[in-house]
Amino acid sequence: MPSRYPPRPEPLPIDVSFIPERDRLALLVRDLQVSGHAYPLMDLAGRFLSHPDSCLVKLEVRHGAGQQAPVKLYQCRECKLVYREKDALLSHAQAAHMDKFFTVEETKTEPPAGNFVCVARCRRTGLLLGPPNYHGYTEKVLQIHRERFSHLSLDEYRASIETLRDPELIEKWKQEQTTQTVYKLRDQEAAEPMKKADAEKYFLEHFAGALVGEAQRVILPATIAQKMDDLRLKDIIRDAWNRESRHPFTLSLALRPAFRHMHLHLFKVKNGQTFVSRIRPHPVDPQQTVESIREVLQYMCEHPGCTRQSILEGLRPGLAPEAPEAASLLNPLRWLVERGHVIEFFNGTLSVPASPGNMRRENIPAENPTA
């Protein structure tokens, strides 16, 4: 029994990944440098995905055996939108960016003269297209089809046009023609005004080529990717975004070298989770420290994921936090954290780094991470 649904198209051989936007990355790095705390790499990656203006989308054509036809990517240099067909990009550039090169003016003129006994109207929009014997009729039909119904064949669109013998509609059309839209080249005072069709042709011949970029790999803002006209590209980006939102793998890969370049350190704790900090973990043997520090380090070794409050309660039960003895006990923690002998995590928990043999520093917590 034949399926009622059309066959699904073959998946596009295009890989989608995500990278941080440079300025937002710089702001995050500045915050990490100021805080000195260790943050989970995956949580930091998720911050970019939670704000589409904070990350970029990378599309890359995948080459491999069995690929039926080469896929090409065309990117608008003006707004960064991406298409798989050059003609689609040219149509976009014509519709969206002509105002960069032309000014648009309205002029008054005499109504068309002639013997008009009927007028054509688009059933889909209600627009009056003009009498079929008017010299500009065909141009108007092609314009409306190109601008608003390009998803239909021209014959399909023509089938939606009705011809009406209505003197009032004919007169209405005539009055509409007394206002003409003309286009003039920017920064050229002496340029002759053009009709829209002539301006579009001039644009395609002289300007559009400079707006078209062809590549196997393109990068565009995530906010622009959400507005993609190419529906198949839009679909694969949406699917990749959903996967990345659950587990920001590609973004975390992009963050690793960026963080290292900006002098941050990445390391893993015992549960395998990767953290980022401006302070490199530097294990120290408690037995090689003075007694006041050794006491704190030994407690932290026995109670990974503790807090300042729990250290105080564990080592000096009943001592008020504001007591001078409490300050004397906890003050060395600041120095220990700055030297990397103690890791202070984003949630206020503290742990000593693993010994050099067990610590695996990367060339990336849980609620209570332990080093």
328 against 64, higher pLDDT:
328
pLDDT of amino acid 369:
58
pLDDT of amino acid 8:
67
Instruction: Work out the pLDDT band at 146, boundaries 50, 70, 90.
Output: confident
**DSSP one-letter string for 319-370:** --TTSHHHHHHHTHHHHHHHTTSSEEBTTS-EEPPPPTTT-EEE----SS--
pLDDT of amino acid 6:
60
- Does residue 192 surpass a pLDDT of 60? yes
- Does residue 185 surpass a pLDDT of 70? yes
- Whole-structure pTM value: 0.77
pLDDT of amino acid 175:
92
pLDDT of amino acid 362:
43
Could you tell me what percent of the chain has a pLDDT over 70?
A: 92
150 against 336, higher pLDDT:
336
pLDDT of amino acid 29:
97
pLDDT of amino acid 356:
53
Stretch 164-173: mean pLDDT? 93
pLDDT of amino acid 271:
84
- Does residue 178 surpass a pLDDT of 80? yes
Stretch 208-212: mean pLDDT? 94
- Does residue 97 surpass a pLDDT of 70? yes
Model pLDDT for residues 273-320, shown as the tens digit of each residue: 999 999 999 999 888 888 888 999 999 999 999 999 999 999 999 889
pLDDT of amino acid 358:
42
pLDDT of amino acid 59:
97
pLDDT of amino acid 26:
97
Instruction: Work out the pLDDT band at 367, boundaries 50, 70, 90.
Output: very low
Cα dihedral sign for 15, 82, 25, 247?
negative
pLDDT of amino acid 291:
87
Stretch 143-168: mean pLDDT? 90
Stretch 87-93: mean pLDDT? 91
**DSSP one-letter string for 15-77:** EEEEEE-HHHHHHHHHHHHHH--BEEHHHHHHHHHTSGGGEEEEEEEPP-TT--S---EEEET
- Does residue 359 surpass a pLDDT of 60? no
Tell me how far apart the alpha carbons of residues 161 and 207 are, in angstroms, rounded to a whole number.
Answer: 33
Q: Write down all domains in the chain, each with its CATH number in brackets.
A: 94-197 (no CATH), 264-362 (1.10.10)
Instruction: Work out the pLDDT band at 5, boundaries 50, 70, 90.
Output: low
- Does residue 128 surpass a pLDDT of 80? yes
Stretch 238-255: mean pLDDT? 96
Instruction: Work out the pLDDT band at 252, boundaries 50, 70, 90.
Output: very high
pLDDT of amino acid 263:
95
- Does residue 365 surpass a pLDDT of 70? no
**DSSP one-letter string for 247-262:** S-HHHHHHHHHHHHHT
